Structure 1
Amino acid sequence: MISKVGRAVPKGPVEGYEENEEFLRTMHHLLLEVEVVEGTLQRPESARMFSISRGIPNMLLSEDKSEN
């Protein structure tokens, strides 16, 4: 569960989410109303971290980390 935003959010899909008003309100808030100014994003598949500075995520890979 992610709880740093003041609300507990499951890491994966919730069964019956279409009917769960609390879950839908929480997701709406997180996706449309929360702005990350400084921090990091983590890609689940590779655990790679991307920094966020002044609201802009840096998702460029250096040549030594590229997946070519």
Structure 2
Amino acid sequence: MVLNQYSFQVGHKGDLPGAVDQDFETNEEFLKKAHHVLLEVEVMNGSLVCPETGRKFPVTDGIPNMLLNEDEV
């Protein structure tokens, strides 16, 4: 699960299960944890890595730069 990988990378290992249960829409504990990881965790400095291409996008002062270079268009 991509969301689980993200939570691990931003230092929230174990906050989310490896697989989503069938009742995820009504599972209050899961929904609270997912909300926290998605909306309350901020990456201030570092990089975001595309899982498909491996390309790194720098993050500076909480702002990701996802513009492609001319040779990547």
TM-score by length of 2: 0.66
RMSD: 2.3
**Among candidates 33, 40, 47, match of residue 54 of structure 2:** 47
Question: What pairs with 1:1-68 in structure 2 (closer than 5 Å)?
Answer: 1=4, 2=8, 4-5=11-12, 7-10=14-17, 14-16=20-22, 17-64=24-71, 66=72, 68=73
Could you list the runs of 4 or more consecutive aligned residues of structure 1 that deviate by over 2 angstroms after TM superposition?
5-11
User: In the aligned structure 1, how far is the partner of 2:49 from the partner of 2:30?
Assistant: 22
CA contact (8 A) 1:7 1:26 kept: no
Q: Which one has a larger percent helix, Structure 1 or Structure 2?
A: 2
Aligned residues: 65
Q: Give the secondary-structure state (helix, strand or coil) at the position aligned to 2:47.
A: strand
Cα distance, 1:32 vs structure 2:
1.7
TM-score by length of 1: 0.70
For structure 2, the 5+ residue unaligned runs are: none
Identity in percent: 48
For structure 1, the 5+ residue unaligned runs are: none
What amino acid maps onto 1:20 in structure 2? N
